[in-house]
Structure 1
Amino acid sequence: MTDGGFDLGEPPQPARAEAYRVLARKYRPQTFAALIGQDAMVQTLANAIRRDRIAHAFLLTGVRGVGKTSTARLIAKGLNCIGPDGNGGPTIEPCGVCEPCRAIAEGRHIDVVEMDAASHTGIDDIREIIEAVRYAAVSARYKIYIIDEVHMLSKAAFNGLLKTLEEPPPHVKFLFATTEVNKVPVTVLSRCQRFDLRRIPADMLAAHFAWVCGEEQVSAEPEALALIARAAEGSARDGLSILDQAIAHAAMEGEGRVTAAAVRAMLGLSDRGAIRALFAMLLEGDAPGALAGLRQQYDLGVDPGAVLRILLETVHAVTLAKVRREGDPAQSEEEREALANWSAGLSFATLHRLWQLLLKGHDEVQRAALPIEACEMALLRIVYAASLPDPADLVRRLANGEEAPAAQPTAPSPQSGPASFAALVDLLAARGKHQWALRLHDDVRLVRYAPPELEIAPVRPLGADFHRELAGWLKAETGQAWRVAEGDGPAELTLKEQETAREAAARDAVLAAPNVRAIIEAFPEAELIGWTDNRSAA
């Protein structure tokens, strides 16, 4: 085209925008060092390569998104890497710069063939591989076949592959990946070296997501990353997909920061703090409060089944804390403290009963035509169960000929007040206020007890509303207006400290008894394990 005799050439073209790569693809591991959560497998592969004991077939199994296909590609790179100078051999640390490494990473290496068994399931597809393995690699050290979702192959395809797996040419390696290893025939499994890739721990995922946010120059709250890590359920790919969505959500809202509140709203997750409060109300037998807490979560869009599922997780976590098992590192300090308090105040029998009631409720909600109503009925069943006597205590009373305790009345009759501070704590426990009873028993020293006045000296913080809530409950229980405050005068030992002192004194008295002292002197290594006081027996 000309204008006045001059050739102006082609008009300028707009710059072509680079296609966005999702985080799950952008941060796919390119080295074994970047493969998180699979240290045992990496160490085994490193030893095999170092000693030249490389299997002819590998089977990689695990849940989605833990790195099966990435590991297969890394093995292909490690076996075919020639190093920056072109003279390297198989290595667990592929250089990433030589032609084989770059070609495999870009998916264009002629000797590394990837096949999706979900879309190539028949014997004809396998027959092509069987014919091709007879020929040496074109440019690589090994000809490698990566077959993803290998469990999708037909029975005929598996049978056709058996002979080649039994006696493969020395220049061929097979790498199989599957999420359902139970569907792979035993005849194939026995011919492969199997690696089970583990779910990635939540704390490790959260740390990885924090690193990704740093690379992307995105600000994110630690709690938000912990929520994403929990939602990922051990899958790095799922977590990165959720993080991608959270970053886009933050940009849409104009904040530019990934917050825990935004992640909860985006995923429909329940606030774990609200669930802890709901769990506490269930233990205290507070039916109106529990129903109000459930409705609040429901109005925020949380599925009733999800509420019960998190309550189940809470009961499980309390039980683990009770057996002194290390908890989830991703838990907040507040959550750990709540679990510790509950584990100290709840028996295994109570926790088992809560688990069964919640599990039954969860199953009912999953099948119910009216899920929220079914969830409310399940919570009311738990509240009612909290007011019943403990079955073990009931059996003991009946065996001793005692009268069985009555269930807690729905509206207790007013009374003048417990005779002592210890009686007050016992009353709280009998009325289902286990957390209050535990705090007063373990964490409070008595300054003055003169109903309706109670002055205490806490040995640890009780919470901003503890005094007010306790006073309100005491008023409803006794019909009198109570004053609960912190006093400055001399205080008694906590009830727990008094019990410990009494036990120590009783132990010292047993050890001081002449016959016991004689036994200890005769057997210096003997220890006092326990004792029974038979002095009242006649």
Structure 2
Amino acid sequence: MTDQLSGLPPDDEPGFAGFDAPPPSRPEPGPGYRVLARKYRPRSFDDLIGQEAMVRTLSNAFRTGRIPQAWMLTGVRGVGKTTTARILARGLNYQRRDGTGGPTIDMPDMGLHCEAIVEGRHIDVMEIDAASNNGVDNVRQINDAVRYAPVSARYKVYIVDEVHMLSTGAFNAFLKTLEEPPPHAKFVFATTEIHKVPVTILSRCQRFDLRRVEAGVLVEHLNRICGMESVTAEPEALSAIARAAEGSVRDSLSLLDQAIAHGAGRVGLDTVRDMLGLADRAQVVDLFEAVMRGDVPAAFAGLRGQYDAGADPAAVMQELAGFTHLVTRLKLVPDAGQDASLTEIERQRGMAFAQGLSVRTLSRAWQILLKAVPEVQAASRPVAAAEMALVRLAYAADLPTPDEALRMLKDGGPLPSGSPSTPSPPRSNGATALASRPVLATSQPQPAPAAPRPQPAAVPEMRLRRFEDVVALAGERRDIRMKAALERDVRLVRFEDGQIEFALAEGGNRNLAGDLARCLTEWTGRRWMVALSSEAGQPTLREQAAAAERELKSNAASHPLVQAVLTRFPGAQIVDVRQRADEAAADETAPEAAILGDDAPAALETEADDDLDF
């Protein structure tokens, strides 16, 4: 029922409140969560990590008043290019609350413009995304606005991010303004692809290359942030995050943020490994030991165990390659073991492997793994591709070194076939040496048959003193294909009775060493060791014969009498006397060869039928 005077319901009407009663309160929206990369973004040069060289250069420039009109900041993602640009803008416009101060990099307190600049909302500090504002018209707007004085700050600062995305016309429109800007304007450019920036722009800027942050520095930074966030983190987990970030501070903080959420406030190694699909470092070391020992079953079991635990096969191969690189560094630079990002297992067992493996062993393993990683990533069956890569490593690990092969040959024992089906015991800390030189190709003795068979008559031993004797022997045995291959494809490096080392000519058969070793064993009655070499070697026999023929013709052509004949009979040619003599003997109707003197090495052949009158 309504009041007659006011037309409003009475105060005691159910469901209505009096006018003096306050309206029902609504909960105020709380501040949104800020990710760690934004929450702990550096606000001064003291907060920057890993860029000491750049900070020192800027400190000296600000202290002496040598401040340029433009800077070019380059580096990989997440190293602090845009953050450095904002700190530069803050330092240029630093002013205390009482109105004092000038351009400086020492900013202990927040000045009049600092908060707005750091948060990216100051009217005189313009941040421009060149990826979406990359046209000539956008640069013209900058050129028109740069002439006007700043509103409240000391300098107008233009921060152009991803400047390499500007078009060619936009770069050209920037040249004049960038070379002679007004005194109150400064430019800061940032890019990840410095090679796409024209040289004309680079020459007008001071360039600073921001370095990747080292893993040890990143681990300390992450540990400090975990302390401020009251988060418990294992050192091994932070080391794994630092390795995965590859020197990017923003990437490391993003991964740490994700790991905190994944582990419900606790960052453990298992959490990070499950989150990133990484391999267990201890199991990677065990896998490395298995393949270096040539133990394929153990290697397969280790790979399958990590795959079942959630590790990506490509990540396992990458971790294996990384550990191979670590062992190489520990062997050549023992101080590399002081890296804070290494676990105790990697440090101790890596040093043990470094003492037991040679550089050529590690280099060959690295080459195999370097090719295996993209193969596993592109394979439709990554596990199978990873297993085949481990097989290659194991087979290479079972091959003997050259000195071991020579010792086996001298002792009369057979060379290993390269099959790691029966694992051999580790030599030192489970490490075997890979062959550093090309594989020795020798004929393998056949296993003894179960039943006795009549043996062929023994071939008498034959001694060969020169490589030409080997070629002649191939001709005597009527092996024309082998003789032609020896003359055409062999670049001799070293020759001894029983040992041949040569390089293949271009297009030569890669199996020539094995075929030659088998033939020589059959022809001479004893084992020969034939090896391919990486050295250049001597010219082939055919090349030597061709060079000798050219020299003979050159000597003949220099004879005065021959020169006179060549001048008088155009079209005459110098031919080998022996070749023409053989042709004349074969064909009685052939014209008689003209011989120039008893000792002349060559003769002249002309197209004319007239007799030569000297």
TM-score, normalised relative to structure 1 = 0.74
The answer on 1:326 being equivalent to 2:326 is: no
Partners of 2:411 and 2:203 lie apart in 1 by 64
* Paired position in structure 2 for 1:435: 428
Task: Tell me the secondary structure at the aligned position of residue 434 of structure 1.
Answer: coil
Specify every segment of 5 or more residues in structure 2 that has no aligned partner in the other structure, as ranges: 1-7, 13-17, 433-614
* Paired position in structure 1 for 2:387: 376
Letter in 2 for 1:318: V
Contact 2:277 2:315 in 1 (8 A): no
Aligned pair partner of 2:110 in 92, 97, 100: 97
Contact 1:81 1:95 in 2 (8 A): no
* Paired position in structure 2 for 1:298: 307
Deviations along 1:237-256, one digit per CA (max 9) or x if unpaired, are 111111111111122xxxx3
Question: For residues 523-538 of structure 1, what are the structure 2 equivalents within 5 Å?
Answer: none
Change (3 A) 1:280 1:3: farther
Contact 2:45 2:87 in 1 (8 A): yes
* Paired position in structure 2 for 1:357: 368
Deviations along 1:354-377, one digit per CA (max 9) or x if unpaired, are 112222322322332211111111
Partners of 1:438 and 1:195 lie apart in 2 by 45
Deviation at 1:406, TM superposition (A): 2.9
Aligned pair partner of 2:245 in 226, 232, 251: 232
* Paired position in structure 2 for 1:346: 357
Which has the larger displacement, 326-335 or 402-411? 402-411
Partners of 2:76 and 2:418 lie apart in 1 by 48
Contact 2:36 2:253 in 1 (8 A): yes
Deviation at 1:307, TM superposition (A): 0.9
Partners of 2:246 and 2:431 lie apart in 1 by 34
Task: Tell me the secondary structure at the aligned position of residue 205 of structure 1.
Answer: helix
* Paired position in structure 2 for 1:526: none
* Paired position in structure 1 for 2:297: 288
Partners of 1:438 and 1:285 lie apart in 2 by 9
Partners of 2:53 and 2:117 lie apart in 1 by 24
Change (3 A) 1:325 1:165: farther
Deviation at 1:411, TM superposition (A): 7.0
Letter in 1 for 2:415: P
Partners of 1:437 and 1:287 lie apart in 2 by 14
Deviation at 1:409, TM superposition (A): 6.7
* Paired position in structure 1 for 2:510: none
Aligned pair partner of 1:8 in 8, 21, 31: 21
* Paired position in structure 1 for 2:155: 142
Deviations along 1:119-148, one digit per CA (max 9) or x if unpaired, are 101011100000011111121111110000
* Paired position in structure 2 for 1:46: 59
Contact 1:95 1:101 in 2 (8 A): no
Question: For residues 57-456 of structure 1, what are the structure 2 equivalents within 5 Å?
Answer: 57-251=70-264, 256-327=265-336, 328-391=339-402, 393-394=404-405, 405-407=415-417, 431=424, 433-436=426-429
Contact 1:394 1:404 in 2 (8 A): no
Change (3 A) 1:403 1:84: farther
Deviation at 1:40, TM superposition (A): 0.7
Deviation at 1:410, TM superposition (A): 5.8
Count, aligned residues = 417
Contact 2:245 2:252 in 1 (8 A): yes
Deviation at 1:325, TM superposition (A): 4.8
Contact 1:283 1:432 in 2 (8 A): no
Partners of 2:34 and 2:430 lie apart in 1 by 56
Partners of 2:86 and 2:430 lie apart in 1 by 59
Deviation at 1:85, TM superposition (A): 2.5
Specify every segment of 5 or more residues in structure 1 that has no aligned partner in the other structure, as ranges: 413-427, 440-538
Change (3 A) 1:432 1:351: farther
Task: Tell me the secondary structure at the aligned position of residue 59 of structure 1.
Answer: strand
Partners of 2:180 and 2:412 lie apart in 1 by 77
Partners of 1:436 and 1:106 lie apart in 2 by 56
Contact 2:126 2:157 in 1 (8 A): yes
Partners of 2:318 and 2:408 lie apart in 1 by 35
Contact 2:395 2:418 in 1 (8 A): no
Larger Rg computed on CA atoms: 2
Change (3 A) 1:360 1:409: closer
Change (3 A) 1:300 1:169: same
Contact 2:290 2:430 in 1 (8 A): no
Contact 1:123 1:157 in 2 (8 A): yes
Deviations along 1:341-364, one digit per CA (max 9) or x if unpaired, are 111111111112211222232232
TM-score, normalised relative to structure 2 = 0.65
Deviation at 1:391, TM superposition (A): 4.1
Structure having greater relative contact order (Cα 8 Å, sep ≥ 6): 1
Letter in 2 for 1:148: D
Contact 2:237 2:272 in 1 (8 A): yes
Partners of 1:337 and 1:278 lie apart in 2 by 16
Partners of 2:353 and 2:328 lie apart in 1 by 9
Partners of 1:401 and 1:434 lie apart in 2 by 20
Change (3 A) 1:201 1:92: same
Letter in 1 for 2:416: A
Contact 2:294 2:420 in 1 (8 A): no
Contact 1:305 1:375 in 2 (8 A): yes
Deviation at 1:200, TM superposition (A): 0.6
Partners of 1:406 and 1:281 lie apart in 2 by 19
Contact 2:134 2:170 in 1 (8 A): yes
Deviations along 1:129-174, one digit per CA (max 9) or x if unpaired, are 0001111112111111000000000100000000111111111100
Partners of 1:100 and 1:436 lie apart in 2 by 62
* Paired position in structure 2 for 1:464: none
Partners of 1:411 and 1:133 lie apart in 2 by 75
The root-mean-square deviation of aligned C-alpha atoms, in Å, is 2.2
Identity within the alignment, %: 56
Contact 2:289 2:431 in 1 (8 A): no
Change (3 A) 1:6 1:176: same
Which has the larger displacement, 83-92 or 357-366? 357-366
Deviations along 1:428-474, one digit per CA (max 9) or x if unpaired, are 9xx351334789xxxxxxxxxxxxxxxxxxxxxxxxxxxxxxxxxxx
Change (3 A) 1:80 1:436: closer
